[in-house]
Amino acid sequence: MENLKKYINEINDFPKEGIVFKDINPIYKKPKIWNELMLPLQKLISTTNPDYIAGIESRGFISASALAFKYEVGFIPIRKPNKLPGKVIGLNYKLEYGEDRLEIQQNSFEKDSKIIVIDDLLATGGTAACAGKLIREAGGNLIGYAFLVELTELKGRKNLDTNLFVESLIQY
């Protein structure tokens, strides 16, 4: 996986000063490279056999929906506020500066469905922890998380439930 780092660009001070943004878009432009990156996630889906794959808006949607389509597993979008129609369950969470919020549609899956949450990158873990709480509040059986990239120094795993699997493909 280390060899794939050359397809990840680092953009300084985006979207805010002080952040080194990991841009993985070059990977999506090369299907063979994208496939190589996703192989461990493909295995994970076959072995854990989830009922649904939840993706976090917006970059999490890319890999989550690709896997869901390939393995004929349902896809659940977890979105920023005021994007989902109908009744939603929402939760605020802390960012480094300020607050954000994620929402999920009520009754979007059957109670106790096995669900994996996927996002492009694990930083402090606040976003993923919030997504996991939403799945549980909506009645789902959260079984684990998967990320394409993990920024290990930020220790985001600490914010996630230790009973669950947390898979990341490329670590910085």
Binding site for ligand AMP (CB under 6 A): 19-22, 56, 59, 119-128, 156
Closest approach, Cβ 22 to ligand AMP, in A, equals 4
Instruction: Report the distance separating Cα 56 and Cα 123, nearest Å.
Output: 14
For 18, phi then psi, to 5°, come to 95, -15
Residue whose CB is less far from ligand AMP, 11 or 39: 11
Max CA distance (Å), the chain? 44
SS3 breakdown of the chain: % helix, strand, coil, rounded to 5?
Answer: 35, 35, 30
Residue whose CB is less far from ligand AMP, 5 or 107: 5
Closest approach, Cβ 20 to ligand AMP, in A, equals 6
Residue whose CB is less far from ligand AMP, 19 or 39: 19
Residue whose CB is less far from ligand AMP, 51 or 100: 100
Closest approach, Cβ 14 to ligand AMP, in A, equals 8
Instruction: Report the distance separating Cα 15 and Cα 3, nearest Å.
Output: 26
User: How far lies 132's CA from each of 8, 14, 16, 55, 99, in Å?
Assistant: 27, 26, 26, 11, 17
Closest approach, Cβ 127 to ligand AMP, in A, equals 3
Tokens in use for 108? 């979007």
Closest approach, Cβ 25 to ligand AMP, in A, equals 11
Residue whose CB is less far from ligand AMP, 51 or 57: 57
